[in-house]
Structure 1
Amino acid sequence: MDIKQLKYFYAIAEEGQITNAAKRLHMAQPPLSYQLKNLEDELGVKLVERGSRNIKLTDAGVILYKRAKQILSLTKSTENELKDFKQGNHGTLSIGTVSSSGASLLDSRLNIFHEKYPFINFEIHEGNTYELLELLDKGIIEIAIVRTPFNNSGINSIFLPKEPMVAAMRKDLNWTDSEIINITELNNKPLIFYRRFESLIFKVCQDFNFQPTVFCKNDDARTSLLWANSGLGIAIVPKSAIKLIGSSSIIYKEIDSDILTTQIAIIWSKTGYLSSSGKNFLDLFENT
């Protein structure tokens, strides 16, 4: 007994006539009668009593009719669920993020995605850009949200608009009312930044003929901001990262530099697996 036989029998039971069931199934009557007889022979029970015009289910036929209804309903729902997975409507999406991308991830895009795909769950892996590139290469995550610069060999990328770096500090370390400063104003100031921006910061400072005074190097924008919030120095971070520590006594000033900028990039492997839900997620950034 297979699904096709159950569909044939279910149609016969529903219609009460083989002729009408054949029309419903878009097939000729003789093959349908033949399939019914084969099913009865296979099961070793009589399923219907044949009348001159209609058929009547036997007790065995009633049992099979109830089971067929359940099985066919489950089959249909299973097909729909698998189609949902194929279309990216269900499942778990594994994403890697650097801490400083949090504000870019948790913006209106994610709300739009959740409204459209409410049954997609997330598994988030946090790390620095280099760690996330490794997770992407190993297939542990499908998509990574990182910051420039990075090695883009073997990956596809979507870049968000460039954003400036800012100098973040407590008010007692402030020296000017201006909201925009020149990099030279950070000369001899205790600077806090994370390592991946070290070469960029040094280059900009050297272009203006001074060496930055490094108070603390670390691996996370949040750490830089927390140290700055303690009054230990001035953090240099991407502007959007300011939102990472919420309420604080920090003020910030945009650094006027065409070089000292960064971008959020959404990346995925050119050769790795990308699920339908992953493709739908990427659409958020390609189309908004």
Structure 2
Amino acid sequence: MILDIKQLAYFLAIAEEGNITKAAERLHIAQPPLSQQLKLLEEELGVVLMERSTRKIQITDAGRLLQNRAKQIIELMEKTTKEFKDLKEGLQGTLSIGTISSAGAALLPAEIQIFHEKYPGVDFRIRENTTFEIVELLKGGVVEIGIIRTPFNQDTFSSINLSDEPMVAGALDSFWNGDTGYLDLTALEGKPLLMHNRYANNIEEACRKAGFEPRVICRADNTRSMLKWASIGMGIVIIPRDMISLEQDVKLHFREIKEESLITRTVIIWMKNGHLSTPARHFLELFHT
């Protein structure tokens, strides 16, 4: 015995209308074929679903059971069809994103809120990693979208530029002697410097081009730790400007370094020749507008 959706829909119309003629009008079909469908359904199930009379149809206990089940089955089929449609259109699914810490703290909350309001059926999986780690996660298919800092391999990844961030130097006021505003690299000569490993080589090279050998007392991978060390007077921390927000409790004064070669760029990237889910494509659209 195999019941199809059309049979159930026909039966449900008859049960709800209480009359085959009205049900046929509702379904836009002739009455004889509808009566035949009801008879075939009863034969397949081996039960009487409706008691016929000249005035109306009386539904039996077996008919009421099938009526309830038919409603559930049709609603489930409609829901399933909608879910597949939503999945195809990116209204449901899971979006995996890898992000550097500064973007995770400053950029993603606003963008995710906008995206969630438009696509509430999409779930997020967010991973905070270094740029190098995010690149590897993208290559391995663990995340679909990465938010990183330049440089990156432009032959492998497509990208959208998000923001340019100059380097800033942060220290206690005593290191600056009251100076404010932009900072020339030469002002760092002889000062104890704290640098992130990712940017240290570029900063050191820029210092040498400016005519001095930088006094680097620490190279590290943890920006929050360096901000705290600078806040106790250990030295001057040099970081991209948007990293300032990573540690709220430090009492540092920041000055922007006037050096074009040290400007970093935050970009959103994805595999150039890889498959992007529909939710991922919708998310990228936020950055095209």
What residue number does 2:54 align with?
Answer: 52
RMSD: 2.1
Q: What amino acid does structure 2 have at the position aligned with 1:164?
A: P
Deviations 1:179-238 (A, max 9, x none): 211111112222212222123213322221222222111224333323322322211111
Cα pair 2:180 2:255 within 8 Å, conserved = yes
What residue number does 1:215 align with?
Answer: 217
Q: 1:49 to 1:245 in 2, by over 3 A?
A: same
Deviations 1:137-169 (A, max 9, x none): 111111111111112222221111312110111
Cα pair 1:103 1:240 within 8 Å, conserved = no
Q: 1:27 to 1:230 in 2, by over 3 A?
A: farther
Name whichever of 103-112 and 202-211 sits farther off.
Answer: 103-112
Residues in 2 aligned to 1:233 and 1:102: alpha-carbon distance in whole angstroms: 27
- Structure 2 gap ranges (5+): none
Q: 1:100 to 1:221 in 2, by over 3 A?
A: farther
Q: 1:106 to 1:246 in 2, by over 3 A?
A: farther
* Per-residue deviation, 1:176: 4.3
Name whichever of 241-250 and 23-32 sits farther off.
Answer: 23-32
* Per-residue deviation, 1:106: 4.0
What residue number does 2:27 align with?
Answer: 25
Residues in 2 aligned to 1:236 and 1:28: alpha-carbon distance in whole angstroms: 81
Q: 1:239 to 1:107 in 2, by over 3 A?
A: farther
What residue number does 1:143 align with?
Answer: 145
Q: Does 1:281 align with 2:283?
A: yes
1:104-123 → structure 2 map (5 Å cutoff): 104-106=106-108, 108-123=110-125
1:94-105 → structure 2 map (5 Å cutoff): 94-105=96-107
Residues in 2 aligned to 1:230 and 1:121: alpha-carbon distance in whole angstroms: 41
1:63-102 → structure 2 map (5 Å cutoff): 63-102=65-104
What residue number does 1:199 align with?
Answer: 201
Q: What amino acid does structure 1 have at the position aligned with 2:212?
A: F
Q: 1:210 to 1:74 in 2, by over 3 A?
A: same
Name whichever of 167-176 and 24-33 sits farther off.
Answer: 24-33
Q: 1:4 to 1:272 in 2, by over 3 A?
A: farther
Residues in 2 aligned to 1:103 and 1:238: alpha-carbon distance in whole angstroms: 14
SS in 1 for 2:267: strand
What residue number does 1:126 align with?
Answer: 128
Residues in 1 aligned to 2:84 and 2:248: alpha-carbon distance in whole angstroms: 41
Residues in 1 aligned to 2:32 and 2:218: alpha-carbon distance in whole angstroms: 86
Q: 1:139 to 1:29 in 2, by over 3 A?
A: farther
Cα pair 1:100 1:238 within 8 Å, conserved = no
What residue number does 2:173 align with?
Answer: 171
What residue number does 1:4 align with?
Answer: 6
* Per-residue deviation, 1:53: 5.4
SS in 2 for 1:286: coil
Identity %: 49
Residues in 2 aligned to 1:43 and 1:84: alpha-carbon distance in whole angstroms: 35
Q: Could you state the TM-score of these two structures normalised by the residue count of structure 1?
A: 0.90
Residues in 2 aligned to 1:192 and 1:27: alpha-carbon distance in whole angstroms: 81
